[in-house]
Structure 1
Amino acid sequence: MRTNRSALVLGTLVLAAGGVLAGAPSAGAAAAESNCNYIADSARPTVHPGDKGNNVRQVQCLINFYSNYSEYLTVDGDYGQNTAAGIFYVQTCNGTTGGADGIVGPSTWSRLYSPKAACAL
């Protein structure tokens, strides 16, 4: 399903801020943490292409808060091509340790929760 990502993020931020637009990346991260609850925020297991389950759902949900990423992911728990493309975007934009390898490890988890400003807005 495709949707206007900017409108989705903007609407989420406006609601999260009680009707006041909050454009800082931390506001997006706070919204992501409150809406993406498939696993505990402190649980950050390594996720690989082909994996399935709640770990993947968490990754997919967090990618959807990247308003500069053009594809809205269906949160289905299946790490396929669309999820891989989202992870490559996150890794490339943020310059994660290890480069863009498609594996969600500590550096990628960190950037999923706390993206660089240019990557999230």
Structure 2
Amino acid sequence: MSKYYVNKFLFQVDRNPDFLKRYAEDPKNFVATWEQSIGPRLNEVEHSTVHGFTDAERKALVEHDFVALFEMGAHFFLNLTLFIGIYDEPYMKENGPLAFQRHFAQRLQHWNGRDYPTVET
């Protein structure tokens, strides 16, 4: 797993309302667009050709599979905050405050008592 690249995606998408909206509405196309044209940017002039998502990473991002991303070593906080941005409002309407956070924790409950995957890059 390219933890750096996955974490860069999570960080950038979470902090850009337009990216977040596009990712929520059409994840498959947005992930492809990000991987091809947004992710490789190092700054306004320079681009990298080194990074790319693995098939498993791409699938997890497209499917909003935060459990798989966690298990692959995506940074816990970046993973959580991105999906709060997408799911918090609908979950809160149905189940009250912190509903998505509780759902996130419940989906990762099988990790109780185990060491979390490393987030080292």
User: Taking structure 2 as the reference length, what is the TM-score of the superposition?
Assistant: 0.30
Give the structure with the higher percent helix.
2
User: Taking structure 1 as the reference length, what is the TM-score of the superposition?
Assistant: 0.30
**Rg larger in 1 or in 2?**
2
